[in-house]
A = this chain, B = another copy of it.
Amino acid sequence: MGGTRDFLPEAMLRREYVIHTLKQIFGKYGFLPLETPTIERWETLAGKYGEEGEKLIYHVVSSGSLEELQPGKRTDLALRYDLTVPLARVVGMYGDKMVPDPANPKRQIRLLPRPFKRYQIQPVWRGDRPGAGRYREFYQCDADVVGSDSLLVEAELIALKVEAFKALGFADFTVKINHRQLLAGLIAWAGIPAAQEATVLSSIDKLDKLPAQKVKAELTGKGLDAGQIDALFGVIELEGSGLGLLAAAGERLAGSAAAGEGIGDLKKLLGYLDRFSVDPAHYRIDLSLARGLDYYTGTIFETVTSAQVGSVGAGGRYDKLIHTLSGGRADQPACGISFGLDRIYAAMEELGLLTQVTGSTQVLVLNFSDPGIEEVTFNLVRELRTGGIRTELGYNEENFTPNGMRAQLGYANEKQVAYAVIVGPDELAGGVALLRDLATRKQERLPLAEVAGELTRRLGP
């Protein structure tokens, strides 16, 4: 069906490799998994995604209740649209809940530690009539810290991002960093009314796809004059990097308290990144980074790679959003990052980083229906599996024929198995096995007693 996908085994193995890698790193940084239900109350999602977004929410109704439906009227239940609203709901519902400490039941501890560091990797749904490369169902992957306004949060999220992209095999990637208050200060300093901030940011956000001239034309179309545009671009096109760039921006924007706060945060953040020894080749201050979404209040990030797939992740600080999204039930500062899984797979595909990823069967032991041979081959399969080798025994209950052997080897090829082990009557009599490398088609002869040990050495975990 358009906009949905079956993930067949080969694709799944690659997806699971990426997700497993991310989970390991999330865990190392103290982030723990959360899952929320697919179906949320309509009320929880209503009014959270803007007018356009709201049209894309999928409603859900059971067959038994179809008759209660009124044309054009909404239902009570809806599919998860993102992972941020459910996070806010969870914080609102459980954020103040206390439970007995298992180590000391007389004492109460929070059910959700504060700060709450969670990651969430689940599908979300959009009721789109999707075009190419757009899906009704896709996975989101977010890591957020709720309940701390420390800039250490930002530093750790960037360190985590850098470690994750390295672990996935990317050599050339950058986390771009900017700050909403710096941008707000800049916009005010350029003489642009605060009411135009959102629309100006959404234009600046296009600078990674459009030439500066087009963005300037768009800003002119939005009513900015040449002086305002020059003032804006005079700052976002400042040359330099790191503390030097921040100092230059600080000089220009000396009169702006907001910009000063943003610059102060970014300086502190650079200091933390340095303390964590994050490789400076993989992050940089980018004063033209804007992130169109209007809920960011502090630092903003975006990750790009050398692949032509666009941004592979983004994030930032959103200190007011939990309050809004939880319907006022919780009010906590927060900061998070997302990994764009589909674009990460596309980038890895483009850069050839997925060719070595497999989790397919490693050894197929050919199955001759002969009691003497079976005694050897069944044991071999069991030994290999005990050694952690992904092993299959060919399915063949007929008397073994050359044709049956070809069918089993064909299956091994289809499944991209590394080795076939052949113990036929001649091999059994000689106390040996043939090891066939299915990629090179080379065969070698090994004493039967050594087969399991040798394959476990070559292929083992």
Contacts and interface: CB of A to CB of B under 8 A. Distances in A.
A329 to B, nearest CB: 14
A197 B410 CA distance: 41
Interface residues of A, number: 110
Q: How many copies does the complex hold?
A: 2
Contacts of A367: 152
Contact of A62 (B29, B59, B156, B385): B59
A281 interface: no
Contacts of A62: 55-59, 127-128
Given A150-B395, A378-B275, A413-B109, A63 B71 contact: no
Nearest to A274: B378
A27 B9 CA distance: 11
A141 to B, nearest CB: 15
A29 B59 contact: no
Contact of A102 (B16, B79, B415, B416): B416
Interface in A273-329: 275-277
Given A39-B125, A276-B378, A34 B8 contact: yes
A6 B36 contact: yes
A13 B33 contact: yes
A347 interface: no
Nearest to A78: B63
A34 B56 contact: no
A458 to B, nearest CB: 16
Nearest to A23: B16
A109 B35 CA distance: 38
A426 interface: no
Contacts of A276: 378, 381-382
Contacts of A15: 35
A400 interface: no
Contacts of A74: 63, 66
Contacts of A379: 277
A65 interface: yes
Contact of A12 (B35, B37, B112): B35
A1 B41 contact: yes
A41 to B, nearest CB: 6
A156 B410 CA distance: 21
Given A61-B61, A103-B413, A127-B62, A13 B32 contact: yes
B113 A414 contact: yes
Nearest to A35: B7
A216 interface: no
Interface stretch (A186-194, A221-229, A386-394): A386-394
B55 A63 contact: yes
Contacts of A277: 379, 382
A28 B391 contact: yes
Name the residue among A79, A361, A395 with the largest chain B CB count within 10 angstroms: A395
Of A56, A59, A62, A74, which is in contact with the most chain B CB atoms at under 10 Å from its CB?
Answer: A62
Given A8-B111, A59-B60, A28 B388 contact: yes
A256 B32 CA distance: 58
A41 B2 CA distance: 10
10 contacts: A8-B111, A38-B123, A58-B61, A67-B71, A69-B69, A101-B413, A115-B395, A153-B395, A163-B385, A275-B374
Top-4 shortest CB links A-B: A62-B127, A9-B32, A4-B37, A30-B392
